[in-house]
Amino acid sequence: MSNKEPTYTEAFEELQQIVAEIEEGQISVDELSEKVKRAAVLINICKAKLTSTEQDVNRILKDLDQTAGELPADERSL
Amino acid sequence: MPEMVDGKRIFTLSEVTGSIQKALAARYSSSFWVKAEMNKLNHYPHSGHCYPDLVEKSEGRVVAQLKATLWRDDYLRINREFVKVLHAPLKDGITMLFCARISFDPVHGLALRIIDIDPVFSLGELEREKQESVTRLQEEGIFGRNKTVAFPLLPQRIAVISVETSKGYADFQKVIQQNPWGYKFFHVLFPSLLQGDRAVESIRYQLARIRKVAAHFDVVAIIRGGGGEVGLSCFNNYTLARDIALFPLPVITGIGHATNETVVELVAWRNAITPTELADFLLQRFHAFAQPVQRAEEVIAATAIKMLGETRETLRHTVRYFRSVTRHALLDNHHAVNRCSDDLVRQSGLLLSRARQSHTASYVRLSSASAMRCTAARTDLRSLDVMMRKDITAFLRSEKSVIDGVARTINHLHPVNVLRRGYALARINGKIVTSTADITVGATLRTEFADGAVESTVTAIETKPKDEAAREGREGE
């Protein structure tokens, strides 16, 4: 378990892993508390991802402008 | 007949059209086969007649255009053939080989009257461009390339290629923005033409732009809608299909038509029939992510509660069992210790008395044996004493007689006694003389006797021969 915030893909996969372990009865009561805590963190990451985006249109447009000069002049007017 | 006005010969319009009609009828008396693309069928359901727009294109540009007529009975017959051969009715945008005759109507103008259409040719033409694109992409090994691009778990950031005012784009936006689950999408429109001659380059241009900012997006969606069935051939274009096949992001399409899939749709990661369906597909992906998360929440909570309950119950049982077991074990041990203690006392008493008996017997045996041994030793000592006394007396007596004999001999040999028996001692200068050789004439010779001594001077020496002297010596013994 790394210290940095997992990506939602990592969070999703780790969550599935925990569910699988729990369903297969691989988790002991000793580990349960830690796993449940971890699962709660992962669930929050996944749910947050579903209902929010951090994209910034202006940044994308800026990136596009930086490369626009490489395109033919007639196509830029499109 | 034409009238003359100011020297000009003036025709009426009908005279002109009549003349054209006559000339064309004379020139084009028979029917002939023509190859052309039918841009639009223009079927009028009320009359049942069709007025197709025919075009010829070269490198994407229209180089010839002509109207045509297809009368109701011909249309019905030909359409039946098309359905039979192409499994589709006569429709817009196909290249066809047809038998026609030039017709000129004074009111409707020049047209090709279509008598028959070869459905087999149309089938081939329609498929040819498409098939060529497909084959080329397959030969280059890139036909299925876009489908191998990993599809993101959540296709949340969408680069949309569409027409801003199109119904398809509006439908798409409505579905993803108003979804009742609160799923959040982010999309940027890259406006492009989606039909007609310039669609290919327009879409490719926007793909190139998206490629530059691909890191900001999860998927590319090509959305068209409301344009009907016309102008789809651009989506069979090889270069466009190639760009899509090789695109680094998954490309999904919602082009909105009912005919066979175009090449672009075939190579796309996913083709949805309509923009709405495309939006639904994205929502389904979100569901596919959200549902396991929801389920994880439920399963983990339920399992945790169940596990804790079971563990608590097990613990309670164990404690109860432990208590009863330990109580029994303690009792058992207590009894066992008592038994051992009793045994120990009894056994040790037994062992002690046995040892005591054995000791007493040994003591009796030892004292009688030692008394006997003392008596025997005392007897032996006494007899040895007697024997020793006897032996010592005898030994002393015999030793005394030997000593007495020796004493007598020694007494006889004493010089005084020898001198009394007539022997004398001769000395010169204090030294005893035993041979004439030691004496010289004139020497003072001292002669000692038992009762004194005399000194005399030697006047003569007689020396006996040696053997006689020896003999006399032996006789004197």
A49 contacts chain B (CB < 8 A): yes
Q: Which of B90, B151, B166, B74 is nearest to B126 (CA)?
A: B90
Pairing of strands B219-223, B251-254: parallel
**Using a CB-CB distance cutoff of 8 angstroms, which residues of chain A are in contact with residue B290?**
46-47, 50
Gap from A75 CA to chain B (nearest CA, Å): 7
Q: Which of B190, B157, B183 is nearest to B280 (CA)?
A: B183
pLDDT digits (tens, 9 = 90+) for B372-406: 999 999 999 999 999 998 889 889 988 999 999 89
Which two tokens mark B229?
A: 């069935």
| Confidence band of B417 (pLDDT split at 50, 70, 90) | confident
Residue of chain A with shortest Cα separation from B283: A50
Separation of CA B228 from chain center: 55
DSSP annotation string for B127-172? HHHHHHHHHHHHHTT-TTTGGGSPPPSS--EEEEEE-TT-HHHHHH
Which residues make beta-bridge pairs with B97?
A: B35, B118
- Looking at residue B87, what is its pLDDT? 57
Gap from A62 CA to chain B (nearest CA, Å): 10
Gap from B322 CA to chain A (nearest CA, Å): 21
- Looking at residue B251, what is its pLDDT? 96
Gap from A74 CA to chain B (nearest CA, Å): 11
Q: Is A23–B299 a contact, with Cβ atoms under 8 angstroms apart? A: yes
- Looking at residue A78, what is its pLDDT? 40
Return d(Cα B149, Cα B267) in angstroms, integer: 12
Q: Is A8–B154 a contact, with Cβ atoms under 8 angstroms apart? A: yes
**Phi then psi for B111, rounded to 5 degrees?**
-155, 160
Which two tokens mark B390?
A: 């006897």
Average pLDDT value for residue range B423-445: 86
Long-range contacts of A60-65 (CB under 8 A, 24+ apart): A60/B188, A60/B213, A60/B216, A63/B212, A63/B213, A63/B216, A64/B209, A64/B212, A64/B213
Q: Is A63–B307 a contact, with Cβ atoms under 8 angstroms apart? A: no
Gap from A53 CA to chain B (nearest CA, Å): 7
Chain A segment 6-45 residues within 8 A of B by beta carbon are 8-9, 12, 15-16, 18-19, 22-23, 27, 29, 32, 35-36, 39, 42-43
**Using a CB-CB distance cutoff of 8 angstroms, which residues of chain B are in contact with residue A35?**
300
pLDDT at B56 over 60: yes
CB count within 10 Å of CB B255 equals 25
Average pLDDT value for residue range B231-237: 77
| Confidence band of B198 (pLDDT split at 50, 70, 90) | confident
Which two tokens mark B252?
A: 């999904």
Interior angle at CA B237, CA B267 and CA B139, nearest 5: 55
pLDDT digits (tens, 9 = 90+) for A3-21: 578 888 899 999 999 999 8
Residues of B with CB under 8 A from a CB of A: 152-154, 156-157, 181-186, 188, 191-192, 201-202, 205-206, 208-209, 212-213, 216, 286, 289-290, 292-293, 295-297, 299-301, 303-304, 307-308, 311
Average pLDDT value for residue range B204-225: 93
Average confidence score pLDDT of chain B: 88
Instruction: Say if residue B244 is exposed, middle or buried (CB neighbours under 10 Å; 0-12, 13-18, 19+).
Output: buried
pLDDT at B359 over 70: yes
What 3-state DSSP class applies to B36?
strand
Return d(Cα B277, Cα B218) in angstroms, integer: 18
Nearest 10 degrees: CA dihedral of B310, B311, B312, B317? 90
DSSP-assigned letter for residue B232: G
Return d(Cα A49, Cα B158) in angstroms, integer: 15
What is the number of H-type helices and E-type strands within chain A?
4, 0
pLDDT at B150 over 90: yes
pLDDT digits (tens, 9 = 90+) for B321-354: 999 999 999 999 999 999 999 999 999 999 999 9
pLDDT at B476 over 50: no
Pairing of strands B425-428, B444-448: antiparallel
B281 vs A52, higher pLDDT:
B281
Long-range contacts of A46-49 (CB under 8 A, 24+ apart): A46/A8, A46/A11, A46/A12, A46/A15, A46/B289, A46/B290, A46/B293, A47/B290, A47/B293, A49/A8, A49/A11, A49/B154, A49/B156
Q: Is B183–A51 a contact, with Cβ atoms under 8 angstroms apart? A: yes
Give the one of B181, B186, B299 whose C-beta lies nearest to A55's C-beta. Answer: B186
- Looking at residue B196, what is its pLDDT? 64
Could you list the mean pLDDT of each consecutive 10-residue stretch along chain A, which spans 78 residues?
75 92 84 89 90 83 70 42
Q: Which residues contact B469 (CB under 8 A, 6 or more apart)?
A: none
Return d(Cα B221, Cα B283) in angstroms, integer: 14
The proportion of chain B whose per-residue pLDDT surpasses 70, expressed as a percent, equals 95
- Looking at residue A73, what is its pLDDT? 41
DSSP strand E in B362-448: where?
A: 425-428, 431-432, 444-448
pTM of the model: 0.54
**Using a CB-CB distance cutoff of 8 angstroms, which residues of chain A are in contact with residue B153?**
8-9, 12
Q: Which of B98-112, B116-130, B194-208, B300-314 has the lowest mean pLDDT?
A: B116-130
Count residue pairs from A and B with Cβ separation < 8 A: 95
pLDDT digits (tens, 9 = 90+) for B438-469: 888 888 889 888 888 898 888 888 888 777 66
CB distance B214 to A65 below 8 Å? no
Give the one of B185, B293, B304 whose C-beta lies nearest to A47's C-beta. Answer: B293
- Looking at residue B227, what is its pLDDT? 57
pLDDT at B419 over 50: yes
